[in-house]
Structure 1
Amino acid sequence: LRRPCGSVASQPLLVPRIPLPEEFRTAITQPGHPEPRFIAFGYVDDTQFVWYDSDALAQFARASGQFHREKILTNHHPAFSRGAGLSERGGIRSTRLIADLVPGYHSIQSMRGCYMERDGRFLSKYYRTAYDGMDHISLNEDLHSWTAANRVALITQDKYETTGEAEHHRPYLEVTCMEWLRSHLEKGKEILQRTDSPKTHITHCPISDHEATLRCWALGFYPKEITLTWQLDGEDLSQDMELVETRPAGDGTFQKWAAVVVPSGEEERYMCHMQHEGLREPLTLRWGMIAGLVLLGAVVVVVMCRRKLPGKKGVRSVA
């Protein structure tokens, strides 16, 4: 979910990290294949620690990413494998139930997890699914009843209530989820509690003779929470800028950018403000000002977007 991005001055610096374990599972039906393919990933505090694929030669879950490189978890992760196998059968039941009604390629995706307060108390727990990329059904807070997102999901709800599907998820959400969280926080604390400062730069891409796009980048940072905001002469531009969701970089860190369209020749009036746990104080970037941009360990590079303007043969050079 997108976090609201208002004025940097009016926002708290950053909310404290609340660790959580999450599982993302997908079952896919394919015409001509008797069994759906099942894929699962496990995350702790936005960091992937294990994966499972029913099409893999080895039918067990494997540690992944930094958890694998640092040998924090063994490649054979029996608890996740057992859970993946149980969920695979559940996913197969769900996909077959719908595929029988609508033949073809279909997918059931599910995610479940729990949030914990810093004092160790449960904050919340959840289980919800999507069918062909659309919200489908979710387990209510009481961990007994279901909420269907649409009419198609009512079929699944009836089936789940008849078969007692909630019983399969309750032990994990009430007990196992917290046990896994505490275990992985202890085993992977050097990874999960680290701080990687963002590497930053601003790109300048002319879009006409009169306008250009300034894009403020933050790369290679951890944890995930970060704030990017453009300002014009000190005035907040959060309503006029394009802001992408924070994205995983594939190496255990994250990346994000915010862009604003500006009149050509007025670029230096615009400033990008950045807040992250890895910065001792907010970072301010301005296009065209090279000196002083290396701040608080953040590597700052200013790059000119080499884009040919209409009617011109040359390209703009690096500032």
Structure 2
Amino acid sequence: MEPYVHLLLLGILVLRKASAGSHSLKYFDTAISLPGLGDPQFMTVGYVDDQQFVSFDSCSASQKMEPRAPWMANMDQDYWERNTRNTKIDAQFYRVDLETLRGYFNQSEEGVHTLQRLFGCEVSPDGSFKRSFYQYGYDGHDYLALDTETLTWTAIEPSALNSKRKLEAERRIAERQTAYLKKTCVQWLHKYLEMGKDALLRTDPPSAQIICRTDLDGGVILRCQAQDFYPAMISLTWLRDGEEQLQDTEFIETRPGGDGTFQKWAAVRMASGEVDKYTCRVQHVGLPEPLTLKWEPQPSSIWIIVGIIAVFLTVLIAGAVIWRKKNSDL
């Protein structure tokens, strides 16, 4: 990470996903005020693509930037000391920033407030710079963003105009951040991709299935579920008679599976007699070609149980007959 540049802002931000074939390096900072409990808690997490690789938490016992991916274990001591030092400086400035924003929003000293920053870069499949992002939010709302092309700041809400004016009065701040995002960030991203290539550049294809259930109104909900895939970029599309049903489809965001892979589902609702008209298309870089799935009714569980009991009784009766026959021969 670059040396800290004093900033005055922030809010809840969603981590952007790199488009298919590209790679990204991003950092997500969070500062939380703790009224009556001392300095705000400060946390930062670094991601290469969809994998966390470093983190820092001011409330942890170590008080250090720490590795979160096995391939980071070979970084030298200077790397960890430098990043720990810079992150602790960040934490102190975030304390001031929280106080500044509390004043902008005319808030009391009693409330808990959250200040966040998301920044990073993305490269194309050929390794060249593609885009960058540098955003802030405060108390769960977008607050301010840097335009690296014009070196100006975009105020997302009226209260951010104060921060916009202060930052644009110091043009060197935007220049410094832009230089980091377009050059230094890209250099580190290439380094991390080389170090962790076995984990970061792999492709694990998804396993997929369709789950069916009936809702209270008698309608049918089909859920197309994919899991065990990496990288996280995936497309699940419901089709009715070959036509995409984007507006009628409910999605969940792709989420970690807990083992280094990801999972996602998409659901669509229909009348009970229309199930045969729907198919799910699954597209992922790990698949040689898209998967097309259709709901296949499974045998009713009650009949499976009845079948098992019938087999058991048949065996039991046959055994009893044989036992009685043997005893009658004695």
Q: Normalization by structure 1: what TM-score?
A: 0.78
- Once the two structures are TM-superposed, the CA of residue 52 in structure 1 deviates from its matched residue by 0.7
- The runs of at least 4 consecutive aligned structure 1 residues that moved more than 6 Å come to none
User: Is 1:205 aligned to residue 205 of structure 2?
Assistant: no
Q: Secondary structure at the match of 1:105?
A: coil
User: Is 1:245 aligned to residue 253 of structure 2?
Assistant: yes
Query: Aligned partner of 2:39: which letter?
Result: E
Cα shift readout 1:166-215 (whole Å, capped 9, x = no counterpart): 46634532443122101101100111100111121221111036312110
- Once the two structures are TM-superposed, the CA of residue 79 in structure 1 deviates from its matched residue by 4.4
| Counterpart residue number, 1:91 | 94
Query: Aligned partner of 1:255: which letter?
Result: Q
Percent of residue pairs bearing the same amino acid type: 38
Aligned positions, number: 285
Larger radius of gyration: 2
Query: Aligned partner of 1:145: which letter?
Result: T
Query: Aligned partner of 2:157: which letter?
Result: N
Q: 1:89 to 1:157 in 2, by over 3 A?
A: farther
For residues 266 and 174 of structure 1, what CA distance do their matches in structure 2 show? 51
* Runs of 5+ unmatched residues, structure 2: 1-13, 306-330
Which one has the bigger helix percentage?
Answer: 2
Q: How does 1:140-219 map to 2 (within 5 A)?
A: 140-142=147-149, 144-161=151-168, 165-166=173-174, 169-170=177-178, 172-208=180-216, 210-219=218-227
Q: Which moved more, 1:206-215 or 1:52-61?
A: 206-215
| Counterpart residue number, 2:144 | 137
Q: How does 1:168-317 map to 2 (within 5 A)?
A: 169-170=177-178, 172-208=180-216, 210-288=218-296
- Once the two structures are TM-superposed, the CA of residue 99 in structure 1 deviates from its matched residue by 2.4
Query: Aligned partner of 1:173: which letter?
Result: L
- Once the two structures are TM-superposed, the CA of residue 2 in structure 1 deviates from its matched residue by 12
- The answer (yes or no) to whether the contact 1:214–1:261 under 8 Å persists in 2 is yes
Q: Secondary structure at the match of 1:43?
A: strand
For residues 73 and 133 of structure 1, what CA distance do their matches in structure 2 show? 34
For residues 88 and 271 of structure 1, what CA distance do their matches in structure 2 show? 50
- Once the two structures are TM-superposed, the CA of residue 262 in structure 1 deviates from its matched residue by 2.2
Q: How does 1:67-78 map to 2 (within 5 A)?
A: 67-68=69-70, 71=73, 77-78=80-81
| Counterpart residue number, 1:12 | none
Query: Aligned partner of 1:190: which letter?
Result: D
- The answer (yes or no) to whether the contact 2:25–2:49 under 8 Å persists in 1 is yes
User: Is 1:54 aligned to residue 49 of structure 2?
Assistant: no
Q: Secondary structure at the match of 1:273?
A: strand
Q: Which moved more, 1:260-269 or 1:75-84?
A: 75-84
Q: Secondary structure at the match of 2:281?
A: strand
For residues 192 and 135 of structure 1, what CA distance do their matches in structure 2 show? 30
- The answer (yes or no) to whether the contact 1:62–1:74 under 8 Å persists in 2 is no
Cα shift readout 1:257-278 (whole Å, capped 9, x = no counterpart): 1111122244233211111111
- Once the two structures are TM-superposed, the CA of residue 217 in structure 1 deviates from its matched residue by 0.3
- Once the two structures are TM-superposed, the CA of residue 117 in structure 1 deviates from its matched residue by 2.8
For residues 256 and 113 of structure 1, what CA distance do their matches in structure 2 show? 25
Q: 1:43 to 1:83 in 2, by over 3 A?
A: farther
- The answer (yes or no) to whether the contact 2:220–2:272 under 8 Å persists in 1 is yes
- Once the two structures are TM-superposed, the CA of residue 157 in structure 1 deviates from its matched residue by 2.2
- The answer (yes or no) to whether the contact 2:20–2:233 under 8 Å persists in 1 is no
- Once the two structures are TM-superposed, the CA of residue 284 in structure 1 deviates from its matched residue by 1.2
* Runs of 5+ unmatched residues, structure 1: 4-14, 291-301, 307-313
- Once the two structures are TM-superposed, the CA of residue 54 in structure 1 deviates from its matched residue by 0.7
Q: Normalization by structure 2: what TM-score?
A: 0.76
Q: Secondary structure at the match of 1:113?
A: strand
For residues 84 and 227 of structure 2, what CA distance do their matches in structure 1 show? 33
For residues 74 and 270 of structure 2, what CA distance do their matches in structure 1 show? 48
Give the alignment's Cα RMSD to 1 decimal: 3.2
For residues 234 and 81 of structure 2, what CA distance do their matches in structure 1 show? 35
Q: 1:90 to 1:177 in 2, by over 3 A?
A: farther
